[in-house]
């Protein structure tokens, strides 16, 4: 076990087919001693299956989006840490500092174990946030790269950092860096907002190749609608950060 424990946060909606395998894989990562699943308004058995697999579960009564789920998960980790600190104090134990957060997509299943490479650089203080870059997926997506280009160019314009995969949701982040990016950008702009805010706070970001596989958005109307929402949220996140920079000047 790593000397610094890590908390994994898994936002999930209607992932009953995959959540248990994802939770088990994450729990097996060296250093991870706490897994929190945020059930973001699922209509299936996601919450029950996550709990059975060993996760702490928090549930949103209605779908509130990925950024809200990540925020809820981080708050739940903080609440658990406060409880543990009280218990250690009562027993005369040594306090443990705030855990770095490992954000995990719910549909990775067994491949989530490969996120182990994201943890050591943050735990050892070599960087403040690691971002997973994925190999080509088993099933090709239906997009044309518009959202990725918007995100990549926007991040580079604001920070000078050229991201390989700017929309990757799998990240390990120190609590200092997470606080620097709070409040998180809304919806699907959360990853872009995290990267920009952490870098503009003078902190360090590194992309790390990971052998991960998950569902990709198809080319049907649902996939197109998802990408349209992504584009909107990424554009909003970037626009707000450009405005903040202008005001700061």
Span 6-137+162-215: which CATH code?
3.90.550.10
Integer Cα distance of 131 and 205 in angstroms: 8
**Conformation bin of residue 72: beta by default, left when phi > 0, alpha when psi is -120 to 50:** alpha
Average per-residue pLDDT for the chain: 91
Can you tell me the mean pLDDT for 134-140? 68
Examine the pLDDT at 122 and tell me if it is beyond 80.
Answer: yes
Examine the pLDDT at 72 and tell me if it is beyond 80.
Answer: yes
User: What's the pLDDT at 167?
Assistant: 94
Of the chain, the percentage scoring pLDDT greater than 90 comes to 76
User: What's the pLDDT at 138?
Assistant: 60
The domain ranges of the chain are 6-137+162-215
Of the chain, the percentage scoring pLDDT greater than 70 comes to 89
pLDDT tens digits, 210-247: 998 776 555 665 667 878 888 999 999 999 999 998 88
Do residues 173 and 195 lie in contact, with contact meaning Cβ atoms separated by under 8 Å? Answer: no
**At how many degrees (to 10) do helices 146-159 and 190-200 cross?**
10
Among residues 149, 162, 231, the alpha carbon closest in space to that of 199 is found at 162
pTM of the model: 0.90
User: What's the pLDDT at 215?
Assistant: 63
> Hey, which bits of 104-204 come out as E strands?
129-133, 171-173
């Amino acid at each position: 076990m790593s000397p610094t424990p890590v908390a994994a946060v898994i936002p999930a909606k209607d992932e009953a087919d995959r959540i248990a395998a994802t939770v088990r894989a994450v729990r097996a990562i060296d250093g991870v001693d706490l897994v929190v699943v945020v059930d973001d308004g699922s209509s299936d058995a996601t919450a029950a299956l996550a709990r059975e697999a060993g996760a702490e579960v928090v549930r949103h009564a209605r779908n509130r989006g990925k950024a809200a789920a990540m925020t809820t998960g981080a708050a739940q980790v903080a609440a658990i840490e406060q409880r543990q600190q009280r218990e250690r104090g009562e027993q005369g134990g040594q306090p443990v500092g705030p855990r770095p957060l490992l954000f995990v997509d719910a549909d990775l299943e067994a491949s989530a174990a490969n996120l182990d490479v994201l943890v050591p650089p943050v735990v050892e203080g070599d960087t403040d946030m690691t971002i997973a870059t994925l190999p080509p997926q088993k099933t090709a997506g239906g997009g044309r790269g518009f959202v990725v280009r918007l995100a990549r160019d926007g991040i580079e314009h604001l920070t000078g950092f050229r991201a390989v995969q700017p929309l990757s949701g799998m990240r390990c982040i120190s609590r200092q860096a997470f606080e620097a990016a709070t409040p998180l950008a809304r919806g699907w702009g959360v990853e872009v907002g995290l990267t920009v805010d952490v870098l503009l706070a003078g902190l360090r970001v590194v992309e790390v190749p990971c052998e991960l596989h998950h569902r990709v958005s198809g080319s049907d109307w649902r996939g197109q609608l998802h990408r349209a929402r992504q584009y909107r949220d990424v554009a909003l996140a970037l626009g707000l950060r450009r405005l903040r920079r202008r005001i700061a000047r």
